[in-house]
Structure 1
Amino acid sequence: MEEFMFSLISNDIGIDLGTSSILIYIKGRGVVLKEPSVIAVNKENDEVVAFGEDARLMLGRTPDNISAVRPLRQGVISNYTRTEQMLKYFINKAVGRRTLRKPRICVCIPSGATEVEKKAVQDAASHAGAREVSIIEEPVAAAIGAGIDIYKPQGNMIIDIGGGTSDIAVIALGGPVVSESIKVAGDDFDEAILRYMRKKHNLLIGERTAEEMKVNIGCASKRPENVTMEVRGRNLVTALPKTVVVSSDELLDALLEPATMIVNAVHHVLERTPPELAADIYERGIVMTGGGALLYGLDKLMQEKTGITTMLAEDPLTAVAIGTGKSIDLSNDDDDF
């Protein structure tokens, strides 16, 4: 009965505070919310017009008085006030207002975050309604969410490719032994597509179109069939609307550079990995999580360049959020939050 009452008055929450998306995991319910990290604001009165998916649909389509922005850039808070507003809204949406006690919240951050950046995340979560905030590094959360027992004396390599950062870590005995965070990830894939379309086709496209191209025909290694997609934008020469047909082979050329930068970062981590743990990784393989890991052929490219079996987690998109939530259970049971 006491456990039932506790579930009514309090919730343990794990938040994947991503550059592109926010995911919220609630103990006993799983991932209950996944929304884009976008907020739309009326610049005339500074009032928030929309959050999440509603705000994302406004990107590139707003009048002068409305601004749709991402308050997180490359894995860290770039606009503190907007991030706090966004967190408060999504926490209330996920938990509801029926809770009589503020939730305890665990938030994941990139492994390379500074103390100042960590403090900003803690303060934003506290002001958004948490009674206590804990921080976990993204690769550790990703490993827990992918079902890896991080407390065993075995080396596991995890690569979490989000929107703003890619976090690579070798984890053993509960923590990262070697880690690296680079600011090359899903958003850089989109940017590479934008640059390619301007240079090759003289076509100006928006962020949403670039993301659709990445999902539908993007690849980091050659597809079995060369698939195509019609892309609409503005001709940079005539300034008139224009439609072109783009192939997956073209996008391979565009995306290979940022994909190779991630592979090089993995090489760098492997070079610094102790021999015993390197042997474990060669035997157990590399696990990839995050939305960026879903780019077609990225796991194949990683395997070809490292010579180590590379696999995607069962659910790459939610692994970090699940691991962040479960990390609360892995904390000391006697710890009174």
Structure 2
Amino acid sequence: MMMSFCSNYPLHHSPSTNIPFFNNKTSSLNNNNRFKVLTKSQNAETTTQQQQQQQQQPYTSLLSFLCPFLKLFSGGDPSGQRNFTLELATSSMASLSRFAWGSNSKVESSMNKDMTSNLPITLQLFEFEACPFCRRVREALTELDLSVEVYPCPKGSVRHREVVRKSGGKEMFPFLIDQNSGISMYESGDIVKYLFEQYGEGRSPSQGLLESTIFTGWMPTLLRAGRGMTLWERSTPDPPPGKLELFSYENNPYARIVREALCELELPYILQNVGEGSCRMKLLVDTSGSKQVPYFIDHSTGFQSGDYKKILHYLYETYSAAIV
């Protein structure tokens, strides 16, 4: 773990970095806000970075190998005509491969007792959908019933990977920033443990969640043929003008397909986790009239829908770069 959350460890401020982040009061992106990344001493940081490089090298090499290989089976242009029967079948198998992880809310988060759409969100997650280690963090967020600002970092990212590199010193994922505590960190296992310590109200992660990546974590990546791994070549280089919001839970097969598209378009969004038992369910029902997910809202245009096919069509039509 690069950043310590132990209160007895001396922490130092590194230079602040510009980050686009959602301002829930104005429902727009604000690119002028700054936050501080807290790190250990320089020597400890260097040692930890070297350890992380050694630990992450097999994972990075495997993803680099898988990326072009899986694209051969991904069905080509993600904005084109899809076989949705096959899409849903593979996404459903991906959900089954992860058992119940990322399906249920097990903690009534103290951050989310009084649900409104304007609650400030202090957690920022830089990740990409196809990454098995990022998936483990998203599953933990579902269990903890936490909302989070998601900054997709697909391979070829033009915005968010640079932010991570400048903020944490490495282009490695997942990368979590908790503005509430001033902590930022890499390493999925450390992030999950931190989230449960900070927001789990004394609970521990579900049995096997931390170890599960070794055995089944790659299955959704393989079954979905690497969807949500690389930047779509026709995605607009500009961030969305307003807030994007997605009601979802990690292991939902329909929501997975929408999150993949958001990742391939590198569109930041607020993820409202609504797993079974979520205290955010009333907010979803009040917003959409249903408990079904995904439910997507583009606050800049007013578009909203609970139909994953319509959401896909809207995203690729609205956030594609003009062909010159």
Same structural fold, with TM-score higher than 0.5 when normalized by the shorter chain: no
Pick the structure with greater CA Rg. Answer: 1
Tell me the TM-score normalized by structure 1.
Answer: 0.24
TM-score (normalizing by structure 2): 0.25
